């Protein structure tokens, strides 16, 4: 009987080649049914058709920096000279050429402010002061007129600083406004509720582009001849109004997701309305609202390019104007690709940061 019992250990066998390793992965993921196999083949075919010409245009046949537009056109590849020639115009617009270090520093200040605000260790009262100081520095750099800087009026601003200022200032003013609107919409006081609902529904009911037109085209007609409210300011206010309405709805979603018990708990602790909101409800509601809020942030950042229709040169506008130089016509692929990359870097970092923030803030009740 004992000869039927195996003693000692059986040597390890390799599993069959079609259950592990790359072949198995391919089978399980790409060819696990006839339609998936068909899709895989189609996609591989598509990529094989698209990628080599793209790389060829982007890199292998591209014209080195320094070639003339005529050589670029004759050669046919990407013309990176266009980007290097027009770089300063695309980034800074019509800001006086010798003074363009000022918008450059402005970009650095704004990005630095945003970066330190992203780190929760810096969420202290002095952060507000840093913002006030930063915005003041930006205003001094851009306008000038003091400390020996020449005065540059804001009709000459353009490019990346304009895009950043419109979106960063717009969002930082619209965010507190949107919290108030969201609270107002859920308020027990009918007057406040009616005002908030009317505002939100009115603004959400019109496209941003028509708000911008109203601000830039209609509004001046209501003013006496010669009285002008700054065009940039009008656009900025239109943006703030628009962003506030949209973010208010995102935050209302968060508020509604908070169980009633939390409100009652705040009351039970004897907190008044504002204390309860600030200490209990809003921290939870804002954490829940992060994904829709960031969604609004990202679309809003890109929507700043709509100011082109009211004649402001944001990043997209300067790229388009750069294309209208008679000597450099027709290089729109390079121009759009270049600013596309800039937009992507900003939007992608926003999205990545929001994912991190979401993880951090939800540590307490992960599901």
Residue with tokens 């899709």: 39
Minimum distance from CB of 320 to another protein (Å)?
A: 6
- Residue 29 vs 75, nearer CB to another protein: 75
What is the DSSP track for 265-308?
Answer: HHHHTT--HHHHIIIIIHHHHHHHHHHHHHHHHHHHHHHGGGGG
Residue with tokens 């609270």: 183
- Residue 128 vs 340, nearer CB to another protein: 340
Residue 104 · residue 98 · CB < 8 Å: no
Minimum distance from CB of 316 to another protein (Å)?
A: 12
Residue 294 · residue 350 · CB < 8 Å: yes
Q: How many CB atoms lie within 10 A of CB 75?
A: 13
Q: What is the rounded CA–CA span in Å between residue 14 and residue 3? A: 26
Minimum distance from CB of 21 to another protein (Å)?
A: 46
Q: What is the rounded CA–CA span in Å between residue 279 and residue 263? A: 11
Positive/negative CA dihedral, 273, 274, 277, 280: negative
- Residue 257 vs 309, nearer CB to another protein: 309
Minimum distance from CB of 66 to another protein (Å)?
A: 15
Minimum distance from CB of 216 to another protein (Å)?
A: 7
- Residue 178 vs 216, nearer CB to another protein: 216
Phi, psi (rounded to 5 degrees) for 266 = -60, -45
Instruction: Dig out the tokens for 267 from the structure.
Output: 């009351």
- Residue 157 vs 300, nearer CB to another protein: 157
Minimum distance from CB of 105 to another protein (Å)?
A: 18
Smallest CA-to-CA distance from 156 within 104, 54, 232 is with: 232
Residue with tokens 């504002």: 274
Q: What is the rounded CA–CA span in Å between residue 108 and residue 105? A: 5
List residues binding another protein (CB under 8 A). Answer: 69, 73-74, 76, 85-86, 88-89, 92-97, 153, 155-156, 158, 213, 216-218, 220-223, 225-226, 228, 231, 308-311, 313, 317, 320-327, 329-330, 332
- Residue 8 vs 326, nearer CB to another protein: 326
Minimum distance from CB of 150 to another protein (Å)?
A: 14
- Residue 92 vs 300, nearer CB to another protein: 92
- Residue 199 vs 313, nearer CB to another protein: 313
Q: What is the rounded CA–CA span in Å between residue 227 and residue 222? A: 10
Minimum distance from CB of 109 to another protein (Å)?
A: 21
């Amino acid at each position: 009987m004992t000869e039927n019992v195996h003693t000692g250990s059986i040597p390890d066998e390799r599993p069959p080649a079609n259950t592990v390793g790359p072949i198995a992965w391919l089978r399980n993921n790409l060819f696990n049914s006839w339609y998936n196999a068909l899709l895989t083949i189609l996609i591989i075919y598509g990529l094989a058709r698209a990628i080599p010409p793209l790389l060829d245009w982007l890199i292998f046949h591209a014209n080195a920096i320094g070639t003339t537009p005529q050589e670029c056109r004759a050669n046919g590849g990407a013309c990176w000279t266009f980007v290097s020639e027009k770089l300063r115009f695309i980034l800074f617009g019509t800001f006086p050429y010798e003074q363009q270090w000022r918008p450059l520093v402005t970009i650095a200040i704004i990005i630095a402010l945003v970066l330190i605000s992203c780190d929760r260790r810096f969420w202290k009262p002095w952060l507000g002061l840093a913002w006030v100081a930063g915005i003041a520095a930006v205003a001094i750099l851009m306008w000038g007129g003091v400390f020996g800087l020449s005065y540059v009026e804001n009709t000459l601003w353009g490019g990346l600083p304009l895009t950043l200022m419109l979106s960063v200032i717009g969002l930082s003013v619209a965010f507190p406004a949107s919290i108030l609107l969201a609270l107002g919409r859920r308020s027990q006081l009918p007057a406040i509720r009616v005002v908030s609902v009317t505002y939100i529904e009115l603004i959400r009911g019109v496209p941003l582009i028509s708000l911008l037109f109203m601000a830039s085209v209609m509004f001046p007609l209501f003013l006496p001849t010669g009285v002008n409210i700054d065009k940039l300011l009008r656009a900025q206010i239109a943006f703030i109004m628009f962003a506030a309405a949209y973010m208010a709805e995102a935050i209302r979603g968060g508020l509604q997701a908070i169980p009633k018990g939390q409100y009652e708990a705040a009351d039970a602790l004897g907190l008044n309305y504002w204390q309860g909101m600030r200490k209990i409800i809003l921290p939870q509601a804002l954490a829940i609202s992060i994904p829709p809020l960031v969604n609004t942030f990202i679309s809003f950042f890109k929507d700043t390019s709509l100011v082109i229709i009211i004649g402001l040169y944001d990043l997209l506008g300067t790229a388009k104007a750069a294309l209208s130089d008679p000597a450099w016509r027709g290089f729109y692929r390079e121009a759009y690709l270049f600013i596309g990359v800039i937009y992507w870097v900003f939007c992608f970092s926003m999205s990545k940061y929001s994912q991190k923030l979401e993880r951090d803030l939800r540590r307490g009740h992960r599901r």
